[in-house]
Amino acid sequence: MIRPKILQFDDGDGRSAGWLLLLLILYSLPLDTIAKEPISKDLPAAAVLNPAAELWRDVRQRDQPTTGSTQVRGVDSGVLINAYGDQWRKFRMQQLIPVGGYALMGIVIALAVFYLMRGKVPIEGSESDKKLPRYSTYERMIHWFMASIFLFLAITGLILLFGRPVLIPMLGKEAFSILASACKEGHNLIGPLFLFALILVFSQFVRRNIYQKGDLNWLLKGGGIVGKKHVSSNFFNMGEKTMFWMLVFVGAVIVISGLVLVFPLFGQGREWMELAHVGHAIGALLMIGVIIGHIYIGTIGMQGAIEGMKTGYCDLNWAKEHHDLWAGRAEERGEALSNEEVAQLTHNHPLPSSLGVRTQEAGK
């Protein structure tokens, strides 16, 4: 009779069974250590402490440097533990997210209150029957190119920053994980285009955004909000010029920090990437707050403000009210056109790109 061999450990001298028994004993040692570890009274009864927690806590909190030497070559390869990672996490969760969220909400609430008190700022004397050419086709194209990129990056960035506390209760964890993953990939893919758009806008508009005599007076009077007298301005007023330079310098911080985060190939370690994340988030929140005000003025805040970027032409009375120095020079040169002429030109012949040269000279 042949008996089936269910399991055979012995190869004749018992060594296989001995090795297997030794492996089982070695494997059970960590489990036995964890089982005998005293459980903290502050933890639930089912919680089990990590036996290495004390080791890593001592490494992180010791006075000596946490960087050593290793044969492995690479960024942070000699760092046993990143002592600043927990500080960055706490700053992001306890300060950056709540303070940034309250700041953006405060801006929106302030603009809503201002609109309820002031309403839409109308054109004094209503719209004119004449218009002035203000922006060329190329200028409007690069403006909307940057605007579309900025809005996409702002929306995806806000979802990544505020999505967990705001969207998870609404969408659930699974739906939010899909949305956050798509936002992350889209943000990283489109982000470098912001640098290209920033260079185009800077090269085209920098000459007309140099501060001039009278700009400080515009600022002190709040662009006409303080007092009842009209405040003179050139092609761009002090507020528009300040927003332009904020876009340039703060945008440069956003671009540089974003490249550090997206392309970890410059030799930067985790500490530099944590610092880049802080600078990127603060700069982005600052610019988003400014652009919210910019969008408010161009939509419901002021009559005629957005027409220049939509059609290339602005109302003559609006130009005299908000940019009278430029409007006066343009009218003297005979650039004012009737509404019928503008309708015919915009239908048959878009604004030439050479208009930018004339408006640059007019803005001096």
Whether the per-residue pLDDT at 342 is higher than 70: the answer is yes
Residues 229-250 pLDDT 10s? 677 889 998 989 999 999 999 9
Q: Half-sphere exposure of residue 256, counting CA atoms within 13 Å on the CB side?
A: 13
pLDDT computed for residue 20 by the predictor = 58
Whether the per-residue pLDDT at 95 is higher than 80: the answer is yes
User: What's the rounded Cα separation, in Å, for the pair 99 and 97?
Assistant: 6
Tokens of 253: 């911080």
Residues 10-63 pLDDT 10s? 455 555 655 555 555 555 554 444 444 444 445 454 555 666 677 666 666 656
Percent helix, percent strand, percent coil in the chain, to nearest 5: 65, 5, 30
The reported pTM is: 0.76
Strands 130-133 and 313-315: antiparallel
DSSP per-residue codes, 133-147: E---HHHHHHHHHHH
Q: Domains (ranges, CATH) in the chain?
A: 85-362 (1.20.950.20)
What three-state secondary structure class fits 76?
coil
Residues 286-341 pLDDT 10s? 999 999 999 999 899 889 999 999 999 999 999 998 898 999 999 999 998 888 88
* 336 or 200, higher pLDDT: 200
Residue 67 β-bridge partners = 79
Residue type, position 256, single letter: I
Q: By the 8 A CB rule, do 85 and 274 touch? A: yes
